[in-house]
Amino acid sequence: MMVQMSQRKPLFAANWKMHKTSAEATSFVRELLSGPMPDSSDYLIAASFTLLSGLRQVIGESPILLAAQNMFFEEQGAFTGEISPLQLKDIGVTHVIIGHSERRHIFGESDELLNKKLLACQNYGLIPVFCLGETSEERESGKAAETIKNQLSLGINGLNAATVENMIVAYEPVWAIGTGKTASPEQVEEMHHLLRQALPDTTRLLYGGSVKPDNSEILLTLPSVDGFLVGGAALDPATFRQIFQ
Ligand code: PGA
């Protein structure tokens, strides 16, 4: 298989969303680590808060990176039900998903709030996986490009160059998440091209939205795609492996 990749190291990220008990999380990692994990790529698991400490132990010195799926921007205080950057750092979490479409659309997180969360990542040395993407209405009304450009510029406003160079950006069209509808290679290239113009060369740009073993190979040949953020297909270690292998 000839796969043309960009110069940035590919990253394959599993977003488990609100799935898995601790026993299931442990068995996923053990199964994944029982096969080859070539160091030509990076691997990341984004898990529920309750799983992170346990996963930190199971992951150990393996090449898997550990992410939370959300966090608040304050270090501590009267914010019932929230989790802070300090608490994530404390248990060895290195990455955080910020602005996933489910946070934006189900929980109403605004661009302004997400910017505060990204600034908090910068202050605490956590690497953000910053998600953005247009809804089907925005696409149908010709506003897809404008939407993602705004989400990016409002999100990264005030971040320093080093943070932006190291962060990960995931383009996830809302209409493709969990729907089985993947964006076409042309759509992904067009949107990634727009984002790339506003980002330094080193920032990794992932695609997410119904990535499966049967569509990942073609998407990975796109020069603008540095890897994937995978939801449903990353709940099973064998399927996740098929995507990166
Ligand atoms: P999906 O989810 O792969 O199930 O579409 C992707 C995501 O929400 O990150």
Compute the distance from residue 243 Cα to the ligand 1 centre, in Å: 13
Please indicate whether residue 146 is annotated as part of the active site.
no
Instruction: State the pLDDT at residue 62.
Output: 93
CATH of the domain at 47: 3.20.20.70
Instruction: State the pLDDT at residue 3.
Output: 42
Q: Which residue has the tokens 């709030």?
A: 113
pTM for the full predicted model: 0.96
Instruction: Answer whether residue 5 is part of any domain.
Output: no
Instruction: Answer whether residue 40 is part of any domain.
Output: yes
**Amino acid letter, residue 125:** G
pLDDT tens digits, the chain, 245 residues: what are they? 344 445 799 999 999 999 999 999 999 999 999 999 999 999 999 999 999 999 999 999 899 999 999 999 999 999 999 999 999 999 999 999 999 999 999 999 999 999 999 999 999 999 999 999 999 999 999 999 999 999 999 999 999 999 999 999 999 999 999 998 999 999 999 999 999 999 999 999 999 999 999 999 999 999 999 999 999 999 999 999 999 99
Instruction: State the pLDDT at residue 7.
Output: 78
Q: Could you tell me which of 213, 215, 192, 191 has the C-alpha nearest to residue 204?
A: 192
Q: Which domain holds residue 117?
A: 10-244
**Quick check: 157 and 197 in contact, CB under 8 A?**
no
Instruction: State the pLDDT at residue 102.
Output: 97
Instruction: Answer whether residue 232 is part of any domain.
Output: yes
Cβ atoms < 10 Å from Cβ of 34: 9
Q: Could you tell me which of 215, 218, 216, 196 has the C-alpha nearest to residue 205?
A: 196
For residue 91 the two structure tokens come to: 């248990």
Compute the distance from residue 76 Cα to the ligand 1 centre, in Å: 30
Instruction: Answer whether residue 1 is part of any domain.
Output: no
Instruction: Answer whether residue 22 is part of any domain.
Output: yes
CA-to-CA separations, 73 to 23, 96, 119, 197, 237, in angstroms, rounded? 30, 12, 8, 28, 32
Which residues line ligand 1 at a C-beta cut-off of 6 Å?
A: 15, 172, 177-178, 208-211, 229-233
Compute the distance from residue 26 Cα to the ligand 1 centre, in Å: 21
| DSSP track, the chain | ------SSPPEEEEE--S---HHHHHHHHHHHHTS---TTSEEEEEE-HHHHHHHHHHHTTSSEEEEES---SSSSSS-TT---HHHHHHTT--EEEES-HHHHHTS---HHHHHHHHHHHHHHTPEEEEEE---HHHHHTT-HHHHHHHHHHHHHTT--HHHHHH-EEEE--GGGTTTS-PPPHHHHHHHHHHHHHTS-TTSEEEEESS--HHHHHHHHTSTT--EEEESGGGSSHHHHHHHH-
Instruction: Answer whether residue 2 is part of any domain.
Output: no
Q: What's the CA angle centered on 21, arms 37 and 29, to 5 degrees?
A: 10
Instruction: Answer whether residue 239 is part of any domain.
Output: yes
Instruction: State the pLDDT at residue 6.
Output: 52
Q: How many domains does the chain have?
A: 1
Please give the number of the atom of ligand 1 that sits closest to the Cα of 208: 6
Instruction: Answer whether residue 55 is part of any domain.
Output: yes
Please indicate whether residue 100 is annotated as part of the active site.
yes
